[in-house]
Structure 1
Amino acid sequence: MTSHQPPLWRRAVAELLGTALLVSIVVGSGIAAQQLSPTDVGLQLLQNSTATVLGLTVLILVFGPVSGAHFNPVVSLVDWALGRSSGSGLTLPELGTYMVAQTVGAVGGSVLANAMFEVGTSISSKDRATGGHLLAEVIATAGLILLIFALAATHRGILAAPAVGAYIGAAYWFTSSTSFANPAVTVGRIFSDTFAGISPDSVPGFVGAQLIGAAAGLGLLALLFPAASRTADDVVVPHPAGKGS
């Protein structure tokens, strides 16, 4: 089949840049919120979540036509898993490339945010790995996976940008963990000892919970939208079918 997608290297650059900018938005707005409202944690969360909703929506619109705007290893992992039965979605080498690009981008985004606010890059001391936080990550990730792939399965992928932005914004508030729901972002946020950071000790639990959530989301998807595997090429934003090289 003639390739209609951008080559893999270009998609990897899009994933790296998109994830870097996403983390810089999350961390940067967290730093700004902490500086602007130092005594009001609720207002800090409102400022942080609002910036994330708007920024994520824009990033999906910009990078979606290039790479699918996954910005998230569990989204890429589920895309690969779904596509095995239909020959769609990411291949295994593409999956590995996406995951590496996303993780490198996330770390770079955290460093970039620190630099913009002239805050030294240091390892976060913010402990988040309580039982409630881990349960929240399972729920947040399962909901995110179900949303993204349900939109693709029902040919409503064009709504992904506002829908995913809205979901993450809501999940900031209805989950105790503030909805990381993303292993790459979780790793990137280690490198900012601010309102938005997470301590390295909390990361394995968070990533494990996110993987469990992804599996739960995949199970719900199979139950509710059995045709989802045939639309793996349309995640997150629809882009032409075919494999890059």
Structure 2
Amino acid sequence: MTAQKLAAEALGTALLLMSVIGSGIMGETLAGGNTAIALLANAIATGCMLYAIITVLGPISGAHFNPVVTLAFAWRGEITLALALAYIAVQVSGGIAGVWLTHIMFDQPVFQLSQTLHRTGPAQWVSESVATFGLLFVIFGGLRSRPDAIPTLVGLYITGAYWFTASTSFANPAVTIARTLSDTFAGIFPAHAPMFIVMQAFGALVAVILLPRLFR
């Protein structure tokens, strides 16, 4: 049963990264230099993939696909720390595999490092905290009110957060790590990733402290 859960988390995170990186490459290629159109394609594809993978894999593993989501559930006592750490390991490895498979699909060098330099600074960092807090707000609020709507809620939230956050809402350490390995539209310079992850963790910490008071 544990192996099935880990496989679901690895596969789901890989598919999530395929949607992020692949739609970024396709959007940038077809948009003719229009960054807004490329970002719109990136956001829609990611939101659609989240809906699909949460719906299909949720009954198996809980459909975390995100280390801060996993740690939030561990904080709540709904998953053991040992299983949480195993989830995180396969989420990171699955995300990296998803990036490499996407490069193969688009006939690009498999092994890359991102040179995207604009994803840093206080505005980006605050955005990542807000985006991560909002993601957990949607998940735990949805569990309280409409558990069956979680795939829709998360898909719509991330689609919107691409646009209302300055960072385009990574909100996921596994995604952040994987995106350092793609020098494409959705990449992030490796040296800028650690602060993104720190701020994602901060947003998650605020969420696990405050949200139980709201969703009693």
**TM-score over 0.5 for the alignment?**
yes
Q: Verify: 1:14 aligned to 2:15, yes or no.
A: no
Tell me, in whole angstroms, the C-alpha distance in 1 between the residues paired with 2:151 and 2:142: 11
State the Cα distance separating 1:22 from its structure 2 match.
0.3
Question: RCO (CA 8 Å, sep 6+): is it higher in 1 or 2?
Answer: 1
Q: CA RMSD in A?
A: 0.9
1:132 aligns with 2:123: yes
Structure 2 unpaired stretches of 5+: none
Q: Deviations over 1:125-183 (max 9, x none)?
A: 112111100000000000101110122133x2110000000000000000010000000
The size of the alignment, in residue pairs, is 214
Alpha-carbon deviation of 1:39? 0.9
C-alpha distance in 1, partners of 2:25/2:68? 26
- Structure 1, unaligned runs of 5 or more: 1-6, 84-88, 227-245
Matches within 5 A, 1:37-76: 37-76=31-70
The runs of at least 4 consecutive aligned structure 1 residues that moved more than 4 Å come to none
Tell me the CA shift for residue 33 of structure 1: 0.7
Q: CA deviation at 1:208?
A: 0.2
Which TM-score applies when normalising by structure 1? 0.86
- Structure 2 SS opposite 1:30: helix
- Alpha-carbon contact 1:146-1:220 (below 8 Å) kept: no
Deviation at 1:222, TM superposition (A): 2.0
Match of 1:30 in 2: 24
2:142–2:153 contact (8 Å) kept in structure 1: no
TM-score between the two structures when normalised by the length of structure 2: 0.97
Structure 2 counterpart of 1:198, from 152, 165, 188:
188
> Greater helix share, 1 or 2?
2
- Contact conserved, 2:92 with 2:178, CA < 8 A, in 1? yes
Query: Identity over aligned residues, as a percent?
Result: 43
Larger Rg: 1
